[in-house]
Each structure stands twice: as C-alpha cells, then as structure tokens.
Amino acid sequence: MALLEVENLNVDLSTAMGPARAVRNLNLTLDRGQSLGIVGESGCGKSMTALALMGLLPENAVTTGEIRLSNENLLKKSERDLCSIRGNRMAMIFQEPMTSLNPVHSVGRQIMEPLRLHRGLSKTDAKKKALQLMDRVGIPNPEERIANFPHQLSGGQRQRVMIAIALSCEPDILIADEPTTALDVTIQDQILELIHNLVAEEGMALILISHDLGVIAENTEKVAVMYGGTVVESGATDQIFGQLSHPYTQGLFAAMPKLGMSRNKRLTTIPGTVPDLVNLPSGCTFTDRCPLASNICKETTPPIEELGPAHTVACHNLKKAIEARSTGLYE
C-alpha cells in the first residue's frame, strides 16, 4: 500500500471571472521514503496541489476527488483531525523564507510550537529538542540563535529554521514548494543538499515542487510534469530525463540553459503563455503552444498512454513527439 495516493483530484477556485480550474483530474502515488518532483511553469497548479494535500487551500476553493494518506481520505476528515495531521505527519516548507516566519516571535518559539502542540512536550523539553533541530539543519550557535527574531537572520538561515519547523515532529511526508527560488544561488545548493540528506536520514517521503528541471533531476526518484492544472507526463526520473516524450517536457528541457552553451546562441523558449484557467481550451490544454498540434488535439482530451513501467504520457501525437526528440521540437 502506498503512503499517499491522490486520485482524480480537482480544485476549482471561484473568482470574479468565474470558476478557475486550478487542478484537474490529478493522480499521484508516493511510497514511504520515496521522493517525487512536481515540475511545471508558474500557474500550472503545482502549488495548489501542495496546498490541497495540506488542506490549506483558500476559502474560495472547492476540492473533489480523493487524497488518501495511509488509506484514509483526507478530504473526508474534520478540520480538527486535519490539524493533528498537519505539521505532524505532513509538513511543508514554503517559497518565501522572508515572510513565512512570524516577525514578532523568536525563531525558537516558532520551532517549539509544533513540538508542544503535537508531542505535548514541556517548555524545557521542547527547547532541548529545538536546539537539536537547529544544530541538525546547520544553524551555527543554536543557543544564541534560538532567541533571535526572524529579521536578525539571513534568508538562507530563515529557510533552515523553516526546515527545522517542518522536521520537528518527524513527518512521513515533507512537501517543499520551491524551497530555494527566493534564495541566492550559492545558498540554493546548500539548502537542497540539506533537504536531500535529511530526507534520506529520516526516511521521509519528499514532494519537491520546482520550475527548475535541474533541481528535480538531482533530488527526486519520480517526476510528475504538470501543465494547465494536470499531469501530462509522469514516471521515474531517469526514465523521463532519459527519454523526453511529451512535447511540453521536451520544451521545458530545451528551455533550460546548458553548461558550455555558446554565448551568442539564444535560449530556446516555448512560444505562447500558460492557459487561462478560467477559460480552459477544450481538448489538450497545450494545443496552442504545441508544435505538433493537430485537429484532434483541439477536440478531445488526450489518452494516458503507458510508455514503460509506471511511465505515462498524455499526448495524441506521442509517436511523432518521440521521433522529433533527436532533432529537437523547438529549434
């Protein structure tokens, strides 16, 4: 039995312009200790998926489908039960370390909070544990730092504090939503390595969300590529990167700057923009930007085809896409 199974997840947001379909027919599975990357452009629904898993979607969201954690459907659970799961069995790290910590509480207090809430630790025990955690996530001088306020720490250190908070109750699943996007490039690698190591040591499952294929490739065993609120390709990381299949995945890969690329060569881009979630096109949502689009793409939703064990792709023109791989679809 998988640790986490997401089946047919839909998230609709009611907006002034009408309902926006942020997530559509999304399916995911995650085993204990496994790491999954979710990749896609901004606005593709990856953050919404993460918030839906945590049950932290904004008030105007309607969620349907099933999210099963150890075979229990979270969407059927009371808010009270969800509170005992959040921060305890499932924890999350956010993109903005600058604003994700409460400015008026010391970082020690913020790390101790889940320990006191879920583990019922006394103040002294929680403080002891917080000091260990701070040491663990690589914050120097924890005894001194524990009384600091967020504004006294750098962005990287704040993200380490966030990680310490997330780790505090030894969750089964750690969700990291663009954990390094807001940080300096040199810090990014340190933080990713820290997450990578901690996940391995603790035996946690990881869901890493990023727009950066490189980050995903280095840190995860499985990948789901999202576009327009749904998964267009998923499979083992080496499978996906070894044999780029979906035209969108190929596009993402082509748009990545590569080491040693000649300076006067322009970066490849995928033409067009992400679809409007309020007025989603019928058929395949990538049609407008796809170099292989044909009439059928406009009319019907593409079937999900299995390319290999657990490697699925949703594309009408899969054969053509795979053939075009060697020449490059976006040159």
Partner 1 sequence: MSVFFAKRFLTFLATLVGASIVIFIVMEILPGDPALVILGVDATDEAVLALTKELGLDRPALERYFSWISGMMQGDLGISYAYRVPVWELVEGALKITIPLAILAMTLSVILALVIGLYAAANHNKIGDVSLMGFSQLGISVPNFWLAILLILFFAVNLRWLPAGGFPGWEEGIWACFKALILPALALATVQGAMLARITRSSVLEVFREDYVRTARAKGLSQRRTLWGHVLRNSMIPVLTAMGFQFANLLAGTVVIENVFHIPGLGSTVLKAINNRDTIVVENVVLLLAGMVVLTNFVVDLLYAVIDPRLKAHDI
Residues of the shown chain interacting with partner 1 in the complex, contacts defined by CB under 8 A? 54, 56, 79-80, 83-88, 91-92, 94, 96, 99-105, 113-114, 117-118, 149, 151-152, 162, 165
Cβ-based nearer residue to partner 1, 56 or 267? 56
Q: What are the b/e assignments for 201-238, b being 16+ CB within 10 Å?
A: ebebbbbbbbbbbebbbebbebbbbbbbbbbbbbbbbe
Under 8 Å between Cβ of 225 and 40? yes
Q: How far is the CB of 149 from partner 1 (least distance, A)?
A: 4
Cβ-based nearer residue to partner 1, 175 or 187? 175
- Cα dihedral angle (61, 65, 69, 73), rounded to 10 degrees? 90
Q: How far is the CB of 100 from partner 1 (least distance, A)?
A: 5
Q: How far is the CB of 114 from partner 1 (least distance, A)?
A: 4
User: What are the percentages of helix, strand and coil residues in the chain, rounded to 5?
Assistant: 35, 25, 40
Task: Return the axis-axis angle of helices 123-136 and 107-118, rounded to nearest 10°.
Answer: 120
Q: How far is the CB of 147 from partner 1 (least distance, A)?
A: 10
Reading the block at residue 267, the tokens are 């970066």
Cβ-based nearer residue to partner 1, 88 or 268? 88
Cβ-based nearer residue to partner 1, 56 or 62? 56
Q: How far is the CB of 118 from partner 1 (least distance, A)?
A: 6
Amino acid at 210: S
Residues with Cβ within 8 Å of 86's Cβ and at least 6 positions away in sequence, in order, are: 54, 55, 56
For the chain, state the CA radius of gyration: 21
Q: How far is the CB of 43 from partner 1 (least distance, A)?
A: 19
Residues with Cβ within 8 Å of 12's Cβ and at least 6 positions away in sequence, in order, are: 19, 20, 21, 22, 61, 62
- CB-facing half-sphere around the CA of 225: CA atoms within 13 A: 28
Cβ-based nearer residue to partner 1, 105 or 319? 105
Q: Are strands 72-73 and 61-69 parallel, antiparallel or unpaired?
A: antiparallel
Cβ-based nearer residue to partner 1, 91 or 207? 91
Cβ-based nearer residue to partner 1, 24 or 118? 118
Q: How far is the CB of 97 from partner 1 (least distance, A)?
A: 9
